[in-house]
Amino acid sequence: MSRNSRVLPSFQSIRSMPGDFRFADVPASDPLEKSDVGNLGNIDVISSCIPENGDLGYTAVEGTVGNMDQVIEDSPYSGNVISVEDRTSMGDEELDIVPSHLPSISASRSERRWCDTTTYAAKKKLQSWIQLPNGNWELGKILSTSSSETVISLPDGKVLNVKTESLVPANPDILDGVDDLMQLSYLNEPSVLYNLHYRYNHDMIYTKAGPVLVAINPFKKVPLYRNDYIEAYKRKSIESPHVYAITDTAIREMRRDEVNQSIIISGESGAGKTETAKIAMQYLAALGGGSGIEYEILKTNPILEAFGNAKTLRNDNSSRFGKLIEIHFSETGKISGANIQTFLLEKSRVVQCTEGERSYHIFYQLCAGAPSALREKLNLKSADEYKYLRQSNCYSISGVNDAEQFRIVVEALDVVHISKEDQQSVFAMLAAVLWLGDISFSVIDNENHVEAVTDEGLYNVAKLIGCDAGELKLALSTRKMRVGNDTIVQKLTLSQAMDTRDALAKSIYACLFEWLVEQINKSLAVGKRRTGRSISILDIYGFESFDRNSFEQFCINYANERLQQHFNRHLFKLEQEEYIQDGIDWARVDFEDNQDCLSLFEKKPLGLLSLLDEESTFPNGTDLTFANKLKQHLSSNSCFRGERGKAFSVCHYAGEVTYDTTGFLEKNRDLLHLDSIQLLSSCSCHLPQIFASSMLTQSEKSVVGPLYKSGGADSQKLSVATKFKSQLFLLMQRLESTTPHFIRCIKPNNHQSPGLYEQGLVLQQLRCCGVLEVVRISRSGFPTRMSHQKFSRRYGFLLLENVASQDPLSVSVAILHQFNILPEMYQVGYTKLFFRTGQIGMLEDTRNRTLHGILRVQSCFRGHQARCYLKELRRGIVTLQSFVRSDKTRKEYAVLLQKHRAAVVIQKRMKAMTARKKLKNIRDASILIQSVIRGWMVRRCSGDIGLLKSGGIKANESDEVLVKSSFLAELQRRVLKAEAALREKEEENDILHQRLQQYESRWSEYELKMKSMEEVWQKQMRSLQSSLSIAKKSLAVDDSERNSDASVNASDDRDYSSDIGSNHRSVESNGLRPMSAGLSVISRLAEEFEQRSQVFGDDAKFLVEVKSGQVEASLNPDRELRRLKQMFEGWKKDYGARLRETKVILHKLGNEDGTVAKRKWWGRRNSSRIN
């Protein structure tokens, strides 16, 4: 906004009101005052369409000024503010050369170039632009000037003498690199070129041109698209030109005005339209994300680029189809769905590529990135082995990994919910298209009729689409025609057969592309019906002009003519017509209209499209007859010029293009014979059946004109041109119902080289885009406009006094009076107020400050209310909490008391159990110690018995017998105790014996394994048994001898005295008692032997069953068997030692008893003899 508008000037009264409603002090043709250009301050440019009373108005808001702390969301300009840094105002010398007005632009292009120049002789400028012979502009320094000639010095040191009128004034250095072309003091072609070049060299690829964003393709990665940039534009902390800024404006206007928006991205092929569309979608996904569908929308880009983009001579990723992505938003501003519409896929690229170009990316990605299993299933080869792909001798793109891109495409197909089975079918169709190109034909007769060769290609195609190889061969080599009620089979020539093969390949690929788009739309249609608000992003092919231009370029350039007219309509026609309709003063700006060129295409019945459709319906029509018909009927049109042969030229808005009509009729008919459709419908795979059904549905549409051939059936009765024209008209209707936002993409060079800036190429594109005219209209006119009703409703509350008349016009005029806005800075129309650049910003700033104050008062009052309510609520809550907490505490105490009592009981039980367990352990330990001590004592006493025997001569014989008897009694008591334990073991043995009977049936299987071990054990047992039997026999003999001796002694001692007899009986009884104890020991050893043998046998059988798997147990049978063997060996040794020890002790006792008895007997007999 200029400095003049920041200081409120004195108001000049309005002298007249409607009808004309013109201010007396405003010249009728003074569109630009010096105050507008003399002070370059904070100039903010916005474009916004505000529908009012059915009119589609174009509103541009410029000059949001003041220290705005925050942009009110309700403001119609809040989403559109794009400010630049304050710049120092120009000096008096610079103001001296500012032209007082801008002349009207004539139709002459040479005059229109220098629309912002004046005669330079009267100016004292130090720098100026001069055009060199090669057409480029160079900035030179003026050394001297005269009335007609000027001496100028170039940067390279050359000095030229040129005519003064050929110089073009240059802008001061302070304006170098401004981000809005409206800020340039001199708006001429070299200044615009220099400003764009300056920003391009500093990686500032975006520049505003009024309401249009100019984007120059950098051909490299620039750091402008990180997440921090998205957040910055979202918070409005960055206001420099950017795709994000345009997209943010669109989404804010959609939410504010509840009007659908559109972002129209245009430019030549290779200018960066596809990448710009992806960047806009990225920002929309970031702002409207949250539902998850935005990720699916972004993932459609790799799919559509793989199947619809290809490498051309001018662009490595050229879109060979048009695309309109309509993104729907919910009431909360979140993305709820999307819909994709495509236009005119270049099907001919499938079967034919120019040298140095490539077919569609997906073919090369499939050949390079398919996994081995898929390659084997599809019989894939490398890309250079397929005929369709090797004809251009280009198989890769520098810096692009096709295998990695294939992985990304597969991942994207998963994201958009295309099943793995459908993905396999898609890849099979792609492979079938490649193999179709490898099908060859052989001549079978003299009339050049052919049939398909039965080779690898034919079999692979039949296998992939699921048809019979013979039927495929027949469909490619013959054609059925109906003549009356008869069917005639016609053989095809080589060219006809190849055309049939190529038509089938193109139709399969085109139907596959349409099917993919349909599946994507089904996936993205979630929640779309919940709202009618949307933002459409149009990414369509740019204007194309090659050395040889065919039918595709013809349709593409026609579409660009339509888009250019839409651009002109919104930025030129509607702008100026609205001024005229609203009755304000306006100096009309002429611009180049392309309606004549559109009429050349669309006029009926003698337009290009009409004549093309007419010639396509004639059976004998050829490309040459079509070219001659055009020359015959259209030679008088200024935009048409006939060329030699089959060529003709059309003067488009972007320049003249020469078209070669070769192939026009065939491509426009787009024939696919009924035989091929029936072949697809008979396939076992579901995709070819869907394709055939779709083509049959299209063939049922109404037909304009006769059939191409009476006996044929075409897959598409509507011509391609007619179909494309209807799609284009629907597209224009949709765009007309939206608020447009324009992005013009510029290609800086044809070599796709970063840093290279070709002035001629850029200037041509700027002329085609009409950028200079757009800036000129926006700067010299009234870009900000608002209806009386909306203006009074928006700013009426700012009035300090009530207006007598409350009609919107009176309120609006009162507002203008109150704020002292200069009359030359606005005009009042019949229905709207029109403001120059920056004037509405002061009102917006005042409104925002007032609203901020109101909000501050409201916030304070509501805060007071909230605090009072909070105090009341807090008191209630504290009281309630006290009751709740007391009740809770009581309940918790009761539970705690119950738990305490339970804990005491548990502790008592646990302590008792621990005490009992401790007592049991002490008792078991005491018993163990006692047993050890007692055993030790027995063994020691046994040793004492031996010592007593050796010292028997010295001791008393009766005492010796008593000591020995006491030890034998203790031994007998222990034997009895062992016998009781033995009986318990016998009971356990009975139980184990029952278990043994259960496993006897299984023992037979493992008897052989244990036989060797048992034989060893039996030998050892027999040895032990023999030792035991010998011990028993020896004991029995000793006993019998003792009995006989006792009887002899009894007969000999009858005559002894009673004392001697009594003593003798006592000794005899004591001698018999150890004998019975010895028998008990022997019996105990025998029982132990039986018990141990039984236990070892059972354990051995159990381990064998575990090892064989009959019984499950968590142990290692081999290790346990070794341990059992070791135990048996240890027991055997111990048992043998005890048996020998017992035998020795008993033998000693027996010998001692016999010796004593004999000695006593002999003593008695000797004593009796002596007496």
Chain segment 667-700, per-residue pLDDT in tens: 888 878 888 888 999 999 999 999 998 888 876 5
Quote the pLDDT of residue 1141: 81
Is the pLDDT higher at 1031 or at 177? 177
Amino acid letter at 892? E
Quote the pLDDT of residue 961: 54
pLDDT band at 1077 (very low <50, low <70, confident <90, very high): low
Quote the pLDDT of residue 485: 75
Edge-to-edge, what's the strand order for the sheet holding 655-660? Answer: 640-642, 647-652, 655-660
User: If residue 17 lies in a helix (H) or strand (E), which one and from where to where?
Assistant: none
Is the pLDDT higher at 508 or at 113? 508
Q: Is residue 18 pLDDT above 50, yes or no?
A: no
- C-alpha to C-alpha distance for 565 and 31, rounded to whole angstroms: 25
Q: What is the mean pLDDT of residues 1095-1123?
A: 77
Quote the pLDDT of residue 106: 32
Q: What is the pTM of this model?
A: 0.60
- Beta strands 261-267 and 534-539: pairing type? parallel
Give one word for 399, left, alpha or beta, with left for phi > 0 and alpha for psi -120 to 50. left
Highest mean pLDDT among 400-409, 438-447, 1016-1025: 400-409
Q: Is residue 864 pLDDT above 50, yes or no?
A: yes
Q: Is residue 98 pLDDT above 50, yes or no?
A: no
- Which one, of 591, 570, 594, lies nearest residue 740 by Cα? 570
Highest mean pLDDT among 17-21, 151-155, 424-428, 528-532: 424-428
Q: Is residue 143 pLDDT above 60, yes or no?
A: yes
Question: Are the CB atoms for 795 and 775 separated by under 8 Å?
Answer: no
- Pair of tokens at residue 700: 């049922």
Q: What is the mean pLDDT of residues 756-770?
A: 86
Quote the pLDDT of residue 310: 93
pLDDT band at 1084 (very low <50, low <70, confident <90, very high): confident
For residue 440, give the 3-state DSSP assignment: coil
Question: Considering the chain, what percentage of its residues have pLDDT values greater than 70?
Answer: 76
Q: What is the mean pLDDT of residues 1014-1023?
A: 73
Amino acid letter at 449? H
- C-alpha to C-alpha distance for 733 and 324, rounded to whole angstroms: 13
Quote the pLDDT of residue 52: 35
Query: Hey, what long-range contacts does 489-497 have (CB within 8 A, 24 or more apart)?
Result: 491/444, 491/445, 491/447, 491/449, 491/450, 491/451, 492/449, 492/450, 493/447, 493/448, 493/449, 493/450, 494/441, 494/443, 494/448, 494/450, 497/441, 497/450, 497/452
Is the pLDDT higher at 705 or at 373? 373
User: Mean pLDDT lowest for which of 29-33, 144-148, 331-335, 1106-1110?
Assistant: 29-33
Kindly tell me the sign of the dihedral angle through the C-alpha atoms of 1046, 1051, 1054, 1055.
Answer: negative
Amino acid letter at 820? N
Residue with tokens 């070709």: 758
* Phi then psi dihedrals of residue 242, to 5 deg: -170, 155
Question: Are the CB atoms for 45 and 209 separated by under 8 Å?
Answer: no
Quote the pLDDT of residue 445: 84
- C-alpha to C-alpha distance for 772 and 191, rounded to whole angstroms: 11
Q: What is the mean pLDDT of residues 279-289?
A: 90
User: Mean pLDDT lowest for which of 636-640, 854-858, 1126-1130?
Assistant: 1126-1130
Highest mean pLDDT among 136-150, 216-230, 994-1008, 1014-1028: 216-230
Is the pLDDT higher at 783 or at 414? 414
Q: What is the mean pLDDT of residues 743-772?
A: 88
Is the pLDDT higher at 201 or at 587? 201
Q: Is residue 554 pLDDT above 60, yes or no?
A: yes
pLDDT band at 964 (very low <50, low <70, confident <90, very high): low
Is the pLDDT higher at 510 or at 87? 510
- C-alpha to C-alpha distance for 1152 and 717, rounded to whole angstroms: 138
Q: Is residue 557 pLDDT above 80, yes or no?
A: yes
pLDDT in tens, 398-430: 989 999 999 999 999 999 999 999 999 999 999
* Phi then psi dihedrals of residue 262, to 5 deg: -140, 140
Quote the pLDDT of residue 1064: 44
From residue 1087, give the alpha-carbon distance in Å to each of 272, 827, 1028. Answer: 106, 133, 12
Q: Is residue 56 pLDDT above 70, yes or no?
A: no
pLDDT band at 609 (very low <50, low <70, confident <90, very high): very high
Quote the pLDDT of residue 1067: 42
SS (H, E, C) 811-874: HHHHHHHHCCCCHHHEEECCCEEEECCCHHHHHHHHHHHHHHHHHHHHHHHHHHHHHHHHHHHH
Q: What is the mean pLDDT of residues 702-714?
A: 40
User: If residue 774 lies in a helix (H) or strand (E), which one and from where to where?
Assistant: helix 771-780
pLDDT in tens, 37-55: 333 333 333 333 333 333 3
Average pLDDT, whole number, for the chain?
Answer: 78
How large is the angle between the packed helices 771-780 and 189-201, nearest 10 degrees? 110
Q: Is residue 447 pLDDT above 70, yes or no?
A: yes
Quote the pLDDT of residue 369: 93
- C-alpha to C-alpha distance for 1087 and 980, rounded to whole angstroms: 12
Question: Considering the chain, what percentage of its residues have pLDDT values greater than 90?
Answer: 32
Q: What is the mean pLDDT of residues 222-232?
A: 92
**Cα atoms found within 13 Å of the Cα of residue 397, Cβ hemisphere only:** 25
Q: Is residue 505 pLDDT above 80, yes or no?
A: yes
- C-alpha to C-alpha distance for 220 and 634, rounded to whole angstroms: 45
- C-alpha to C-alpha distance for 284 and 253, rounded to whole angstroms: 13
pLDDT in tens, 231-245: 999 988 888 999 999
From residue 640, give the alpha-carbon distance in Å to each of 596, 626, 647. Answer: 10, 14, 11
- Pair of tokens at residue 302: 């790799």
Alpha helices in 154-220 (DSSP H): 189-201
Q: What is the mean pLDDT of residues 67-74?
A: 33
Q: Is residue 324 pLDDT above 90, yes or no?
A: yes
Quote the pLDDT of residue 165: 84
Q: What is the mean pLDDT of residues 1029-1047?
A: 64
DSSP assignment of 295-360: HHHHHHHHHHHHHHEE--SS-TTEE-SEEEEEEEE-TTS-EEEEEEEEE---GGGGT---TT--SB
Radius of gyration of the chain (CA): 57
User: If residue 704 lies in a helix (H) or strand (E), which one and from where to where?
Assistant: none
Is the pLDDT higher at 1095 or at 1057? 1095
Is the pLDDT higher at 959 or at 846? 846
Q: What is the mean pLDDT of residues 120-132?
A: 64
pLDDT band at 19 (very low <50, low <70, confident <90, very high): very low
Is the pLDDT higher at 190 or at 589? 190
**N-term to C-term CA, the chain:** 169
pLDDT in tens, 797-852: 888 877 666 788 888 888 888 888 888 888 888 888 888 766 776 787 788 888 88
Active site residues per annotation: 269-270, 274, 315, 318-319, 542, 544
SS (H, E, C) 19-86: CCCCCCCCCCCCCCCHHHHCCCCCCCCCCEEEEECCEEEEECCCCCCCCCCCCCCCCCCHHHCCCCCC
Amino acid letter at 493? T
- C-alpha to C-alpha distance for 234 and 717, rounded to whole angstroms: 50
pLDDT in tens, 923-957: 999 999 999 898 888 888 776 656 555 555 555 55
Question: Are the CB atoms for 382 and 367 separated by under 8 Å?
Answer: yes
Quote the pLDDT of residue 908: 93
pLDDT in tens, 337-369: 899 999 888 888 999 988 999 999 999 999 999
Is the pLDDT higher at 879 or at 47? 879
pLDDT band at 1164 (very low <50, low <70, confident <90, very high): very low
